[in-house]
Structure 1
Amino acid sequence: MGISKREMGIVVVMLTGVVLAVLNQTLLSPALPAIMADMGVEQTTVQWLTSGYSLTEAVAISLSAYLIGRFNTRQLYVGGFVIFTAGSLLAALAPSFPLLLAGRVLQAACTGAVMPMVFTVILLIFPREKRGSAMGIISLVIGFAPAVGPSVSGLLVDSVGWRALFFVVTTLSFAVLIASAAMLRNYGEFRRTKLDLPSALMSALGLVCLLYGLSSLTSTVNVLVNIALIAGGILILGLYVRRQLKLPEPMLNVRILGTRKYAIAVSAIVFLQAVLIGSGVIMPLYVQGVLGHSATVTGFLMLPGAVAGALVGFASGRLFDRFGARKTLLPGALLMVLAGICLIVLSDSSPLALVCLAYTLLGVGLQYSTTPLN
C-alpha cells in the first residue's frame, strides 16, 4: 500500500495493542455470571464492569485531543500500557468487587486515551485512496479478538475460574508493553491544546450521573433519586456543550456536529456501540441464567457471529472504497433488522440454533455497518 517498513512496524505494534484492548472487553462477557456468584453481587452491580468501563473510556476519549498534543506517540502508547497492565493485575488479584471495578477503570482509561491516537496515526500512514481498505484490514484484525475471546473465556471460566482471564490479559499486556517500548517510534506532529479542567470535570460528572441514573432506573428503590440523577446529568452535559461553544480552544469541538452528515454518522456509531455492548452483556446472562447452559457453551455460541463479523468488516471496507457509505450501510442495516426479529421471539425454551443465528446476524450487521462509518 506504499508505506515503509518503519511505518508498517508502527501499524503492527499499535494494532497488537488494539487487539488486546478489544480482547479484554470481549473476554469478560461469558464470565459475568461467575463473577456475580463469586463476589456475591447482583446483575445491576456486575454490569458496572462493562458500563463503568464504557463510562471511563468515554471520559478518557474526551481528553484524548489534549493527551495527543501533550505527549508524543511513543510516550502516550507506552505510558498507557503501563496503566493497562497495572489495572489488569489489580483485577486479577482483586479480593472485592470495588477493587475489581477499579482495575477495569484503569484498563478503560488506557483504552480511551490510546485508541483515538492509534486510529489517527494509522489513517495518517495510509494514503487517502486506500483508507477504506485499511479500515477493512483493521476491522479484520480487530475482529479476531471477539472471534476467539468468548470461546476462550468460556473454557477458562469453566476449567480454571474467571480470575484466569485477567492473568492472561496481564501477561499479554506486559508483552505488548515490552514490545512497544523496544520497537515503537514517534510518528506525526500534533497541535498542543490546553486542558480545560472545568470541562473535564463537567464531562465526567455529567456522564456519571446520567449512566448511574439510567442503570439504576429499574430499581424500585429511590426512583425519584435516579430520575434526578438523569436530569442532572443531562443538564451538566448541556452546560458542558455550551462551554465548548464559547471556548476559543474547546476540549471537544462540538461545532462539527452542526455538519449534517457528520452528526448522522456519530449518532449511528453511538447506536451501534450501544447494541454491541448491550448484546455482549445480555447474551451470556440469557444463555447461562435463563437457558441454563455453561460459560463454555456461551462462548462457542458467540463464536460464529464474531468470526463472520470480522470477515464482513474486511469486505465492507473494500466496498466502501468502491461504492461509498450509503450502499455499504444498507445490507448491514437489513441484517440487524432480521437479527432484531429473531431476538424478539427468544424465550426460556428457545433452541440454541436460533440464539446462535440471531447473534450471528447481529454480529455481521454490526460489522458491516460500523466499518464505513469509521
Structure 2
Amino acid sequence: MKNKLSGLNAKLFITVLLLGSFTMSISQSSISTAYPTLMNYFKIDASTVQWLTTGFMLIMCIMMPVSPWLLNNVKFKYLFLFILALFDLGTLIVVIAPNFPTMMLGRAMEAISVGILFPSYQSVMLYITPKEKRGSVMGFAGLVMGSALASGPIISAIVLHFTTWRGLFVFFMVVISILFILAIFTIKSIMPKQPSHLDLFSVILSFGFIGILYVVNMIGKNNINLFSTLGISGISLIAIIWFIRRQLNLSTPLLNLSVLKNFNYDLSVGLTAASYISLIVVTIIFPLYYQEVLGVSKSMSGLALAPGAIFLSILNPFTGKLADKWGFKKVMLTGMLMILLGWLLLVILGHNTIQLLPMMIIAAIIEGGNAFVMMPAVTMGANSLDKDLISHGTAFITTFRQILGSTGVLVATLIYTNVTNFKAASGLSYYLAQKSGFHTVFIVFFILEFVGLGMALLLKNTKKA
C-alpha cells in the first residue's frame, strides 16, 4: 500500500478526517432548532422550512452510491479538499442568503459534500486499518455518527442563545475553513486508484432512492396529493429495481451489490439500521415528549439530550476495543439488550407521566446501546468483505441506514399523531391523548427492536467477522 500512514501522521490524518465529518454531521441535525426563527425571517410556513432538512437528506442520499466511484477515480486528498471547499462555499451562500431559495441552494451544496463524505471517511478508515484494530479505530468514527447526531440540537441551542441563525452557519464555516488548511498538510491520497467509467444511467436510476425518501417524508402531511405520491412511489420503485438489476450485470457497477452475498455483511446492515433507528427516534421523539407532556421549554428539551450524547461519546471508543477483544457477537448482543431495556422501561413506565430525569436516564441507556451496535456492525461488515469491496459495502450501509432512519422517524410520528387524534376524538383530554400516543410509540419500537436482537443472535461467535 502506497503512502502508508504511521505514528503521528496517521493520528493527524484520522483526527482531521473525523473533525470534518463531525462538523458536517452537526450541521445536518442542528438546523431544526432554528426553524421558528427562519420561518419568521423569511416569512415561510413550517412545511416550507422543513425542506432545509428534507431536501438535505434527499440530495445526500443520491450522492452516497456515487462515493465508491469517486474514491476509485479521484485522489483522496483532492476529493477531501473538494468536499470541504464545496461545504464551505455552500455555507457562505447560506450566511449571505437574501431569500429562502438561495438558502436552499447553499444547503444543497452542503448536502452534496456530506453525501460524499459520510461513506468515504468510513471506507478510508477501514481500508488503512488492519482487521484486528478496526473495532478500536471505528469506535472513534462512532463519535461522529452517534454523538454528532445527538448533540447537534444541543450545540445549535447554545449558539443560537448568543447569536442569530446566521451565526450558527458562520460557526460551521469557520471550523471547516480551519480544517481545510489543516487538511492540505495532513490528508494523504492513501486509497489506490482504480479508474473506471462512470455509468451515468446508474446515477439517474439511483434517483429512485430520492423518490422513496421523498414519499416517506410526505406521508402523513396535510393536503398530500395522493395521485402524484402514488405515481412517484411507482416510478421510484421501478427505478430502484432497474438500478439493482443493472448493478448486478455491469462489469464495473456504480455500487457493487455482490457484497449482499455475504451473510455476515447482511446482518451488519440490519444491525446498524436497527440501532440507528432507535437513536434518531430518541433524538426526535424525546424532545417532543419533554415539551408536550412535561411542559419543558424548547431549549431545555434540547439540552436534556446532552447526558445521553455524552454517554454515547464516552462508550464509542470503548466498545470498539471490546469488539476487537471479545468479538462482535458479545458486543452487539450487549448493545441490543441495552436498547431493548430502554424501550421496555418506556413501555412499563409510559402508562403514567415519566419525569425528566428518568427519561434522560432511559435515553442514555438506548444511546449507550447504540454505541455497542452501530459502528461495530459497520466494522464487522467490512471485515466480511475483500478490501476492494469495502467502499461499496460502506456506501450501501450508509444509504440503507439513511432511508430506514427516515422511515423510523416517519413511523413514530404517524403513530403518535394518529393515536393522539383518535383518543382525543374519543373524548379523552388532549393531554391524556398525547400520553397515549407516546406510549403506543414506545410499544411499537420495543417490538421492532426484537428484530435487531434476533439478527445479533445469528452472528457467528468469533472475534473476527
TM-score, normalization: structure 1? 0.88
Q: Distance in 1 between matches of 2:148 and 2:40?
A: 26
Q: Secondary structure at the match of 1:63?
A: helix
Confirm whether residue 363 of structure 1 aligns to residue 367 of structure 2: yes
2:221 is aligned to 219
1:270-295 per-residue CA deviation (whole Å, 9 max, x = no partner) reads 34334434443444455446655334
Q: What displacement does 1:334 show?
A: 1.9
1:199-235 per-residue CA deviation (whole Å, 9 max, x = no partner) reads 101102x122212222112135312322332232222
Matches within 5 A, 1:1-374: 3-140=6-143, 145=148, 149-204=152-207, 206-221=208-223, 222-288=225-291, 291-342=294-345, 350-374=354-378
- The residue identity in structure 1 corresponding to 2:283 is G
Q: What displacement does 1:101 show?
A: 3.1
Contact residue 210 and residue 232 of structure 1 kept, 8 A: no
Q: What displacement does 1:159 show?
A: 3.6
Structure 1: which 5+ residue stretches go unaligned? none
Q: Return 89-98 or 14-23, whichever deviates more.
A: 89-98
Q: Distance in 2 between matches of 1:25 and 1:348?
A: 34
Contact residue 273 and residue 374 of structure 2 kept, 8 A: no
Contact residue 136 and residue 324 of structure 2 kept, 8 A: yes
Would the alpha carbon gap of residues 10 and 220 (structure 1) be closer, same or farther in structure 2, given more than 3 Å must change? closer
Contact residue 342 and residue 354 of structure 1 kept, 8 A: no
- The residue identity in structure 2 corresponding to 1:367 is A
- The residue identity in structure 2 corresponding to 1:179 is L
Q: Distance in 2 between matches of 1:91 and 1:290?
A: 35
Q: Distance in 2 between matches of 1:263 and 1:232?
A: 26
2:463 is aligned to none
Would the alpha carbon gap of residues 207 and 138 (structure 1) be closer, same or farther in structure 2, given more than 3 Å must change? closer
How many positions carry a matched residue from both structures? 372
Contact residue 23 and residue 176 of structure 2 kept, 8 A: yes
Q: Return 228-237 or 139-148, whichever deviates more.
A: 139-148
Q: Distance in 2 between matches of 1:285 and 1:18?
A: 27
Give identity over the alignment, percent.
28
- The residue identity in structure 1 corresponding to 2:62 is V
1:124-155 per-residue CA deviation (whole Å, 9 max, x = no partner) reads 33322111111123334766645754333212
Structure 2: which 5+ residue stretches go unaligned? 379-465
Would the alpha carbon gap of residues 94 and 62 (structure 1) be closer, same or farther in structure 2, given more than 3 Å must change? same
Would the alpha carbon gap of residues 97 and 251 (structure 1) be closer, same or farther in structure 2, given more than 3 Å must change? same
Contact residue 142 and residue 310 of structure 1 kept, 8 A: no
1:17-36 per-residue CA deviation (whole Å, 9 max, x = no partner) reads 12212222343343344444
In terms of Rg, which structure is larger? 2
Would the alpha carbon gap of residues 229 and 286 (structure 1) be closer, same or farther in structure 2, given more than 3 Å must change? farther
Contact residue 147 and residue 310 of structure 1 kept, 8 A: no
Q: Distance in 2 between matches of 1:37 and 1:343?
A: 36
Contact residue 91 and residue 107 of structure 2 kept, 8 A: yes
Q: Distance in 2 between matches of 1:294 and 1:172?
A: 29
Would the alpha carbon gap of residues 279 and 54 (structure 1) be closer, same or farther in structure 2, given more than 3 Å must change? farther
Q: Distance in 2 between matches of 1:37 and 1:353?
A: 33
Contact residue 72 and residue 191 of structure 2 kept, 8 A: no
